[in-house]
Amino acid sequence: MKLAPSILAADFGRLQQEIEEVANLIDYLHFDVMDGHFVPNLTFGPPLVNALKDKIEIPFDIHLMITDPGLYARKFKISKEDIISFHIEAASDPKPIIAEIKSRGAKVGVALNPTTALSAIEPILKDVDLVLIMSVYPGFSGQNFINVLPKIRQLKRQIAEQGLNVEIEVDGGIKASNIKEVISAGADIIVAASAIFGQKDRRKAIEELKRASL
């Protein structure tokens, strides 16, 4: 399992320290970029993410919850180990977005809301590096996990049947009590905000999640 803590539940007033405190325990840092249109919440955009990019060495996992991913994806500084994911619901023409992110050498992910069927991403499954399955309605941290386990299993099967090299990331409502079933269903990367940055001892919370995932 790879772990991608979301800074959404971190203390933004001391963001760099918050991140450095957990840096050696995590695989990615997950950034929830929200525009107040695609989701009913506003967070941050390229200025903040790019400023941290110069200071933090962990790979970035940028989750775009915005109506115009094609326009804004290119404004993020990325290197080859980073991921940018856009929502299929926001992309009328996903192919140029995928091509643009790939042309900069980074990994590209496609995200799906809980109610969006896997058939929506079928035509581009072979073109992406990752599928981000939402297990809450995007917009806020601290929501309850929606049971998307059958969807994860089905996607895992499709990826295997087609012989693809596509990772599955699951995002929303994951904590020590349910992480194991998400992993068993087929998740490769786990996102968690409140289960990590919402806890007093973040390092202990990460160790607990890792233990619970085994």
Q: Which amino acid is at 70?
A: G
Of 19, 22, 28, 63, the residue at the interface with ligand DX5 (CB under 6 A) is 63
Q: Give least dist CB 18 to ligand DX5, A.
A: 14
The partner in contact with residue 62, picked from Zn ion, ligand DX5, none with C-beta cut-offs of 5 to 8 angstroms by kind, is none
Judge contact between 155 and 128, C-beta under 8 A. no
Catalytic residue among 32, 61, 82, 129: 32
Annotated active-site residue 35? The verdict is: no
Q: Is 85 in the site for ligand DX5 (CB under 6 A)?
A: no
> Residue 97 or residue 132: which is nearer to ligand DX5 going by CB?
132
Instruction: Judge contact between 89 and 65, C-beta under 8 A.
Output: no
Beta strands in the chain (DSSP E): 2-5, 29-34, 60-65, 83-87, 107-112, 130-134, 167-171, 189-192
Contact between 213 and ligand DX5 by CB under 6 A: the answer reads no
27 is catalytic: no
Cα angle vertex 133, ends 182, 38, to 5°?
145
Residues that bind ligand DX5 (CB under 6 A): 6, 8-9, 30, 32, 63, 65, 136, 138-139, 141-143, 171-174, 191-195
